[in-house]
Amino acid sequence: MGQPLTLATSPLAPTVRVQPGPIRLAIVDSDSGFVRVLAKRVEEMGWQHRILSGPVRPDELVSMRVHAVVVDLALLGSSAWEFLERLCDELPALGVIVCTGQSTVAQRVRGLRLGADDWVTKPTHPQEVVARVESVVRRRKRADSSEDAGPVHAGELEIRPDQFQTFVGGQSIDLTRREFELLHLLAGSEGRVLEREEVYRHVWGYTMVRGDRSVDVFVRKLRQKIERFSPDWTYIHTHFGIGYRFEPVPAEGTLPPEAPADEVAAEADAELPMPS
């Protein structure tokens, strides 16, 4: 159909870089009417695309060499959240746009927290989907440019944007995509206090809703993971009522700082079950 994608003979590394040339898009959707109109618009844009009527393994998307995927979660049934989480964790450089039917605020928040770059509600005009895909791919290209600067060394940490991984003494810290993006942002602004709203805008790509505690929760989890590998250093410092500052400081001979009350409350909120 149009300019279909062909499978590569050998798989790429999971962090597929956005290369110059036409956008390569995978569409995971069984809504024939919507897909037909979207595919037509994509062809007019000169993009390459692949239409998939069911779930696909992340390694298959790697071998398709796509820049982004548009996915209807309703197609995946009870495995939708698991699929989305795995997709975002295993392919952190892939743009993920959820395009599905009516949903609750909690469901949209859950999807974005799992790593989706954008969420579009059907019915929607395919032109809007195309514009959102373009926006996500542009952000990826800017991220690729910043990754070319090489690894960041801070205290005992080696932060590798090209691999979406952080190492301590050669051991990789098991960070989710959002946790890595948060760490990379903070480390790139070493010594400067970043307000919560600024962090949310850069990492999540949206304006923070009043009362949202996502930043506090993710900072707390990030701290815990880093401290397990590098207990003799303190990296992320809280500025109460403002935000966070990244600055590696040897913590030898000092007690680990207690978690601020607002972070503890946010952590408790985050553990509440969300609607399916």
What DSSP character marks residue 101?
S
- The span from the CA of 59 to the CA of 90, in Å, is 9
CA 222 to chain CA centroid, nearest Å: 15
At residue 239, the pLDDT reads: 93
Nearest to 146 by CA among 97, 68, 202, 198: 202
At residue 56, the pLDDT reads: 80
Query: Six-digit token pair at 193?
Result: 């206090």
Q: Which residues contact 179 (CB under 8 A, 6 or more apart)?
A: 218, 221, 222, 225
Separate counts of helices (H) and strands (E) for the chain: 9, 12
DSSP annotation string for 245-256: EEEEEE-TTSPP
Q: Which residues contact 145 (CB under 8 A, 6 or more apart)?
A: none
The pLDDT tens digits along the chain (276 residues) read 334 433 232 233 344 444 446 888 999 998 889 999 999 999 998 999 999 887 788 778 777 888 899 999 998 888 899 989 888 888 877 889 999 998 998 898 889 888 888 899 999 888 899 988 988 888 766 655 555 557 888 999 999 887 788 999 989 998 888 888 899 989 988 889 999 888 887 787 666 667 778 889 899 999 999 999 999 999 999 999 899 999 999 876 444 444 454 554 454 444 444 444
Query: Six-digit token pair at 24?
Result: 């390569």
